[in-house]
Amino acid sequence: MTISSGSLVFITGASSGIGRACAYKFAESGFRLILAARRKDRLETIAEDLRKRFGTEIFFDELDVRDLQAVNNFVQKLPVKWHKIDILINNAGLSRGLQKLHEGQIEDWEEMIDTNLKGLLYVSRAIIPGMVERDYGTIINIGSIAGHEAYTGGNVYCATKHAVDAITKGLRMDLVDSCVRVCTIDPGLVETEFSLVRFHGDKDRAKKTYQNMSPLTPDDIADTVFFAATRPAHVQIAEVIILPTAQASATLVHRSIK
Ligand code: NDP
Ligand code: 8X3
């Protein structure tokens, strides 16, 4: 079996940025979508637009991936036609703060660990058994360059993304005797609401992250996710690190645009 138009994609964190761009990318190629995030009003707007533009079949609902019970209810209560999830995009995630560890806010740490790490685990635990039973599926985790390198003030965020990297590798081993594929797409700077969230709504500070350089766009990441998801069944894209041309590492960014 190969992934094709009509296949079913589950996207967490679909209300913004990379998750939203993935929804558009898969929708325009005829995939069916399950969209989840906390901001249901946003999902509703996206769903309306996708139905109008592409006639996409969409199931969406509010979900906080930090809530284990809510994750299990969400998956258990999916109507029958939405049961056979072919592609899981574990995208919901965030950073909070950029303080040195000894000055960091404990609530920020909890939020990052609960979302990026435990949330990804909860969703994976709920959906992967169905894939294993059907012996078919693709899991795409959105990691980060921060999962390969640490940077000043990135301490706990980097730790969560290093954990995503380890989970992805471990999961690939766990599933090696199945036809389920496991992939991580690890971007550098992508201009989304990510920095606005990191800096607790400070727009000026958020803007500076992408100043005088051309960051990646959410569509760049969606293209890469789509590529990985639509390879022939015997091909497993294990890991992609994708950076803006002006970024060489987590900490080396060339800001030449005036
Ligand atoms: P955005 O802030 O634009 O989007 C984050 C998405 O995650 C939103 O849809 C948000 O939805 C959702 N989300 C956050 N917390 C939860 C939660 N508890 N439950 C459910 N959904 C949640 O940022 P990005 O698109 O940039 O981020 C997407 C992923 O990409 C993250 O995992 C991030 O770490 C990763 N990444 C981002 C990079 C960048 O530079 N932007 C680079 C590398 C990786 P809502 O608030 O409605 O719940
Ligand atoms: C997001 C990219 O460099 O801000 O994961 O950590 S970075």
Question: For 79-122, how does the pLDDT look when each residue is reduced to its tens digit (9 = 90+)?
Answer: 999 999 999 999 999 999 999 999 999 999 999 999 999 999 99
What are 15-66's pLDDT values in tens digits? Answer: 999 999 999 999 999 999 999 999 999 999 999 999 999 999 999 999 999 9
CA of 143 to the centre of ligand 2 (A): 9
Residues in the chain: 258
The domain segmentation of the chain, as residue ranges, is: 8-242
Mean pLDDT of the chain: 97
Ligand 2 atom nearest the C-alpha of 194 is 1
Residues 227-255 have a mean pLDDT of 98
Cα gap 233→3, rounded to integer Å: 8
C-beta of 8 in contact with ligand 1 (< 6 A): no
Cα gap 50→48, rounded to integer Å: 6
Query: What phi and psi values does residue 2 have, to the nearest 5 degrees?
Result: -125, 155
Ligand 1 atom nearest the C-alpha of 19 is 25
Domain 8-242 -> CATH class: alpha beta
Q: Give me the residue label for tokens 């940077």.
A: 151
Q: Is residue 1's pLDDT more than 70?
A: no
b/e string for 75-114 if b means 16 or more Cβ within 10 A?
beebeeebebbbbbbbbbbbbbbbeeeeebeeebbebbbb
**Nearest Cα to 19, choosing from 95, 199, 27?**
27
Predicted structure pTM score: 0.98
Indicate which residues carry an active-site annotation: 157
